[in-house]
Amino acid sequence: MDQIVNKLTLPTLDEYAEFYAGYIQRSQARGDVLAALPQQIDEIKSALGSLSDEQALFRNAPKEWSIKEVMGHLNDVERVFSYRLLRVSRNDATPLPGFEQDDYVREAGFDSYPLKELIQEFEHLRRANILAINNMSDESTRRVGTASGYPVSARALIYMLVGHVDHHMESLNEKYLPNIE
């Protein structure tokens, strides 16, 4: 077994579907993607932790998700991407299906969840992912599988975990939080 990963190199374009390029670019802009993983826990707590449950029901437009729904979506995707990461890093070549995020959010009923629990759930999911990633070998991070009909490497999935959160945090910080009373 080769060395445990302590620095992750940028995935190449053939390691992920084009529609994930934005997530990869966002995480690349952070520099050290491994350092960004725990930083995002604190960033979410700082941005959302003081909101009341009533404030977290805010939507920036009628058909948009509420803040609670965005947070629930982050948790769903953390689970989906981490499951893909587990399978790909373990050299499981079984193609993995996609998922419909709007259906997941609609069916979950996140608006009835306490915001603090949604944030806590993210922290637990992310900390579990950090432990798993910290124990992956460099070789396992370079493995490639198939998800949603496209090739994806384990290291691309790690970058996608970070980029996905950054994508939604940017939206929350620009479109939601400035409009909450």
DSSP-assigned letters across all residues of 15-41: GS-GGGHHHHHHHHHTS-HHHHHHHHH
Task: Pinpoint the alpha helices (H) of 90-174.
Answer: 101-108, 115-134, 138-141, 154-171
d(CA 173, CA 119): 16
Across residues 77-106, what is the average pLDDT? 97
Question: Above 80 in pLDDT, residue 13?
Answer: yes
CB neighbours of residue 118 within 10 Å: 23
Across residues 140-150, what is the average pLDDT? 97
Q: What are 20's two structure tokens?
A: 């994930």
Q: At what angle do helices 154-171 and 67-89 cross, to 10 degrees?
A: 170
Share of the chain above pLDDT 90, in %: 95
20-62 per-position pLDDT tens digit: 999 999 999 999 999 999 999 999 999 999 999 999 999 999 9
Question: Above 60 in pLDDT, residue 153?
Answer: yes
Question: Above 70 in pLDDT, residue 2?
Answer: no
Question: Above 90 in pLDDT, residue 6?
Answer: no
**pTM for the complete prediction?**
0.95
Name the pLDDT band for 7 (thresholds 50, 70, 90). Answer: confident
- The mean pLDDT of the chain is 95
Question: For the chain, which domains are there?
Answer: 13-179 (1.20.120.450)
Question: Above 80 in pLDDT, residue 113?
Answer: yes
Across residues 171-181, what is the average pLDDT? 94
Across residues 64-83, what is the average pLDDT? 98
Q: What are 72's two structure tokens?
A: 């629930």
In this prediction, residue 181 carries a pLDDT of 77
Question: Above 50 in pLDDT, residue 1?
Answer: no
In this prediction, residue 169 carries a pLDDT of 98
